Amino acid sequence: MESGRGFRYFCKMHANFLNDLNTVQRQAADTTEGPVMIIAGAGSGKTRVLTYRIANLIFKGVDPFHILALTFTNKAAREMKIRIGKLVSESDARNLWMGTFHSVFAKILRIEAEKIGYPSNFTIYDTDDSKSLIKTIINELGLDDKIYKPNLVLSRISSAKNNLISDREYNDNAEIIEEDRKSAKSKLGLIYSLYNQRCFKASAMDFDDLLYKTNVLLKKYPEVLYKYQQKFRYILVDEYQDTNFSQYLIVKKLAAMHQNICVVGDDAQSIYAFRGANIQNILNFEKDYPELKTFKLEQNYRSTKTIVQAANSIIKHNKDQLKKVVWTDNHDGEKISLLQAGTDNEEGQIIANRIFELKANHQLANSDIAILYRTNAQSRSMEEALRKRNIPYRIYGGLSFYKRKEIRDLLAYFRLVINPKDEESLKRIINYPARGIGKTTLEKVIATAAEHQLSIWEVLVNMSQLRVITGASAQRLTEFVTMIKSFQQALTGNAFDLATHIARSSGLLKELGADKTPEGVSRQENVLELLNGIQEFIDTESESEDEVQERTLEVFMQDIALLTDADEDEKNDPNRVSLMTIHASKGLEYPAIFVVGIEENLFPSQASLSSRTELEEERRLFYVAMTRAEKFLTLSYALMRYKYGQIQYCEKSRFIEEIDQDLLILPSGAPKSGALLEFDDERTSFRSFNRKEPGIGSLKPKNNAATPLKPKSPTAFTPTRSDFVPDDTSNLSSGMQVEHERFGPGKVINVEGKPGDKKATIIFQAFGQKQLLLKFAKLKIIA
């Protein structure tokens, strides 16, 4: 079958290419048959081993189509493909099945969708969609959303799915029922069932469904399981310590036939237990495959001796761990600096100063440096300080491009056009931009849908037969349906043309164009950027050879559904300091690392203190943070910090005490807040500088002048005119020119409603289309 593929690569690769690896690494990469577990300490060249192992498989003649490699992020998959491409050939690398669990199995689910009753163009609900649907259900059931908090409900449902507990099993399980009853949330099971029904009716799957339904598919259809067992003869799983039960079982089933399964992980770096990841999977692995060969990668190539020893001294305080000794041949390096600041703001200033010193003394670039923190809220004081010193930075994990409102709005149009049953999208845009479809009308439609067991879309399409809504409202709903249908006609055509057409004729671009504030302009630019992205998508060729897909809008949407902001590439100025949470830093490395806010109740976090397992997870998190550093590691804490606008007094973290103290440089006379060093620019010039409030200097009031004020909205500039005398509008009709006290001149395009309670739709020159109730609106009739 594998007709001597190795031959083709003989010239390109010298047979001894595995000599680039150390002994254990080489064994791990060359033991290609049978179950293998690789325990890979931090910085031990794990990615390198995976890369070489896959290249080795291809070199030995395995067809890339038969290799499945599951990674933690799409970015990791992309980078690994590039590296493998350089070892073998780009076309072979392209043909690998490589990606996250979610993206790989979403692909498979689309192929097999009809077996489980879904269309292949099913929508993927993201967390916001899920939450919004849960909110709807809670409201419909008349439950209190303070008891049934959408976040909590979702995490409960998610955890059920990740443990493969169906809604039926949930509702039949005495233990679960008792647990929910005790916490006064006995309706959770009902919400779970309704949520599933609604997702199914909307032809939608949430993130957890992608794994759950894969399990259902493989269990219910042995022939499908067989097909993929045949296909995936070699399976590799990265970051195995962070997989959950649902993922574990998928892998176990797929690997059952050939048993060529290789998992790579490090129990010391397991930091996602809080959402279902299970270290037990590693222990299970040994039970499932008694023939297993285990390799321990213990030599660290990343960090100095100091950093490796410090990290080891931390992790040894955890009881639960596999035996492993991480060591390094690297230099001792510098000691770890510990900095103490008076307040969170001062912490930012000290760090910024320190970054200047490091860059000046050690020829580091901004991009060699990362600041890591426990919670996103901590980024503020760091940003402020960096901005003041003109140090360019980039924040990971902020509001990603695809989460911006204007982008979600346009994507909702695309989603609805592709899958008109997608109710979350429909509700989002049916009246945006405003087209006079009010809350009452929509509620009537939803009620009708529930009554007849139809989707909202089906009600809209069959409105004339159902005769629930009549008159002007029905007219506008019909117009909406006609518009969406006309978009659907163009689905097979050019994706960019269709997308642009939708953005224009939905009125979305016009709506955004009406807003002349800087924010408004930037929203418009974002939409244009998305359209550019679609053009770019069309211009790039399809990833894999076996699916020569048309670059339609539908395919584009499938592509971006599972993106995260870790996937965004750095277009402008790559030379920036990186800011991110420790969670987001997993798998990354930098010459210089700052870990900030190492205080009790923050790191370890307050909530983790009550249980040993949670505290140990925090400690692993600290271990991950420290082991990101290659040469320079700086830790810091503050004595005071703002939390929810209140001052909180802090104590340095127990984790600091746990570090081998010989490796630390303790805060030698932490700078008093009276005299900080203030740098002017990137040169080393600096001057002493006195703060305004001696003593408690850094507890300065917020909203200082350094923070740019938000530009005022145009509304604020339009004075309320005392000479404005409104006209009688009881006979207002379409086509009339009017003037509004605040919105200025505009043209009436529609008037409806009973006399005395009329609603007018007016396009204002400067403010776009608005609907106004005439009993309130003060209008002057011009013509």
Partner DNA sequence: CCAGTACTTAGGTTG
Partner DNA sequence: TAAGTACTGG
Distance CA 456, CA 449 (A): 6
Dist CA 704 CA 627 (whole Å): 37
Q: What is the DSSP string of 629-651?
A: EEEEEEEEEEEEEEETTEEEE--
Distance between CA atoms of residues 474 and 23, nearest Å: 74
Catalytic residue among 156, 628, 631, 758: 628
Nearer to DNA, 87 or 157 (CB): 157
CA distances from residue 270 to 73, 160, 545 in whole angstroms, order as listed: 15, 21, 36
Q: Mask: binding to DNA, 263-282, rule CB under 7 A, as x and -?
A: ---------x-xxxx-----
Residues 6+ positions from 400 with CB-CB distance below 8 Å: 564, 565, 568
CA–CA separation, 191 and 154 (whole Å):
10
Residue 734 Cβ vs DNA, minimum distance, rounded to whole Å: 16
- Comparing C-alpha atoms, which of 127, 122, 179 is closest to residue 154? 127
State in angstroms the smallest separation of the CB of 585 from DNA. 9
Q: Is 406 in the site for DNA (CB under 7 A)?
A: no
Cβ burial of 149 (10 Å; 0-12, 13-18, 19+) is middle
> How far is it, in rounded angstroms, from Cα 298 to Cα 44?
6
48 is catalytic: no
Stretch that binds DNA, among 30-38, 475-483, 508-516, 577-585 (CB under 7 A): 577-585
Select the span of 305-313, 493-501, 606-614, 672-680 touching DNA (CB under 7 A).
606-614
Which token pair is 717? 């500039």
425 Cβ partners below 8 Å, 6+ apart? Answer: 123, 411, 412, 413, 415, 416, 419
The piece of 58-66, 450-458, 496-504, 602-610 that touches DNA (CB under 7 A) is 602-610
Q: Which is nearer to DNA, 235 or 663 (CB)?
A: 235
Q: Which listed residue (642, 739, 750, 752) binds DNA by CB under 7 A?
A: 642
Taking the complex as a whole, how short is the minimal distance between the CB of residue 179 and DNA, in angstroms?
17
User: Quick check: 397 binds DNA (CB under 7 A)?
Assistant: yes
CA 620 distance to own-chain centroid: 22
**Of 715, 730, 733, 765, the one binding DNA by CB under 7 A:** 715
Segment near DNA (CB under 7 A), from 55-63, 448-456, 477-485, 637-645? Answer: 637-645
Total residues in contact with DNA, by rule CB under 7 A: 60
Beta bridge partners of 737: 747
Binding mask 182-221 for DNA (x = CB under 7 A): -------------------------xx-------------
Q: Which is nearer to DNA, 221 or 432 (CB)?
A: 432
Site string for DNA, 690-709 (x = CB under 7 A): ------------xx------
Catalytic residue from among 26, 46, 302, 576: 46
Considering only residues 344-363, where is the footprint of DNA by CB under 7 A?
none
Alpha carbon 222 to its chain centroid, in Å, reads 34
Other Cβ atoms within 10 Å of 734 Cβ, number: 11
**DSSP character at residue 134:** H
Q: How far is the CB of 47 from DNA (least distance, A)?
A: 15
Q: Rule CB under 7 A: say whether 381 interacts with DNA.
A: no
Q: Work out which of 294, 375, 549, 690 binds DNA, going by CB under 7 A.
A: 375
Task: Kindly tell me which of 83 and 258 has the beta carbon lying closer to DNA.
Answer: 83
Least gap, CB of 413 to DNA (angstroms): 19
Query: Is the CB of 453 or the CB of 606 nearer to DNA?
Result: 606
C-alpha 278/C-alpha 263 separation (Å) is 14
Is residue 568 annotated as part of the catalytic site, yes or no?
no
For residue 702, the minimal CB distance to DNA (Å) is 5
Q: Compute the least distance from the CB of residue 509 to DNA, in Å.
A: 18
Cα→Cα distances 160→168, 246, 619, Å:
11, 10, 27
Q: Least distance in Å: CB of 242 to DNA? A: 6
Q: Tell me which amino acid residue 737 is.
A: Q
Gyration radius from the chain CA atoms: 30
Residue 342 CB, nearest distance to DNA (Å)?
A: 17
Largest Cα span, the chain: 91
290 binds DNA (CB under 7 A): no
Instruction: Please identify which of the residues 47, 478, 517, 535 carries the catalytic annotation.
Output: 47
Q: How far apart are CA 598 and CA 637, in angstroms?
A: 5
Closer residue to DNA, CB minimum distance, 331 or 405: 405
From candidates 127, 482, 575, 737, binder to DNA by CB under 7 A = 127
**Can you tell me the distance from the alpha carbon of 306 to that of 21, in angstroms, rounded to the nearest whole number?**
24
| 239 counts as catalytic | yes
Q: Which two tokens stand for residue 344?
A: 């969170």
Active-site residue flag, 238: yes
How far apart are alpha carbons 437 and 759 in whole angstroms? 12
User: Is 476 assigned a catalytic role?
Assistant: no
Our CB check for DNA shows the closer of 28 and 411 to be: 411
**Among 121, 171, 193, 376, interactor with DNA by CB under 7 A:** 376
Nearest of 544, 530, 621, 513 to residue 272 by alpha carbon: 621
Q: Which residue has the tokens 């892998």?
A: 251
| Nearest-approach distance from CB 753 to DNA, in angstroms | 10
Closer CB to DNA, 586 or 631, in the complex: 586
SS3 603: coil
CB 638 within 8 A of CB 347: yes
- Residue 423 and residue 455 in contact, taking contact as beta carbons nearer than 8 Å: yes
* Identity of the residue, 115 or 700, whose beta carbon is nearer to DNA in the bound complex: 700
| Residue 227 Cα distances to 7, 224, 246, 256, 380, angstroms | 28, 5, 20, 12, 51
Least separation in angstroms between residue 240's CB and DNA is: 11
Is 546 exposed, middle or buried (CB count within 10 Å of its CB: 0-12, 13-18, 19+)? exposed
- Six-digit token string for 448: 């009708």
Task: Name which of 91 and 734 has its Cβ closer to DNA.
Answer: 734
Please state, in angstroms and rounded to a whole number, the distance separating the CA atoms of residues 485 and 782.
Answer: 38
- Please tell me whether residue 612 binds DNA under the rule CB under 7 A: no
Q: Is 552 helix (H, G, I), strand (E, B) or coil?
A: coil
Active site residue 761: no
CA separation for the pair 234, 54 (Å, rounded): 9
Of 23-52, which residues contact DNA (CB under 7 A)?
none
Considering beta carbons, is residue 167 or 242 the nearer one to DNA?
242
Please tell me whether residue 562 binds DNA under the rule CB under 7 A: yes
Return the residue of 28, 338, 418, 777 that touches DNA, per CB under 7 A: 777
| Nearest-angstrom CA–CA distance, 670 and 341 | 7
Question: Token pair of 668, please?
Answer: 């030698």
Residues 99-118 that bind DNA (CB under 7 A): 100, 102-103, 106
CB of 397 to DNA, least distance (A): 5
* 677: β partners: 688
> Of 239, 267, 368, 616, which one is the catalytic site residue?
239
Which is catalytic among the residues 238, 266, 368, 423? 238
Distance from first CA to last CA of the chain, Å, rounded? Answer: 82
One symbol per residue from 645 to 664: x for binding DNA (CB under 7 A), - otherwise; what is it?
x-------------------
Between residue 468 and residue 527, which ones bind DNA under the rule CB under 7 A? none
The window from 73-81, 164-172, 468-476, 660-668 that contacts DNA (CB under 7 A) reads 73-81
Closer Cβ to DNA, 590 or 679, answer by number: 590
Catalytic residues: 46-47, 238-239, 269, 628
Q: Which residues bind DNA (CB under 7 A)?
A: 72-75, 100, 102-103, 106, 127, 146, 149, 158, 207-208, 242, 244, 272, 274-277, 374-377, 380, 397, 434, 438-439, 562, 564, 566-567, 581, 583-584, 605, 607-608, 614, 617-618, 642, 644-645, 702-703, 713, 715, 743, 759, 767, 770-773, 776-778
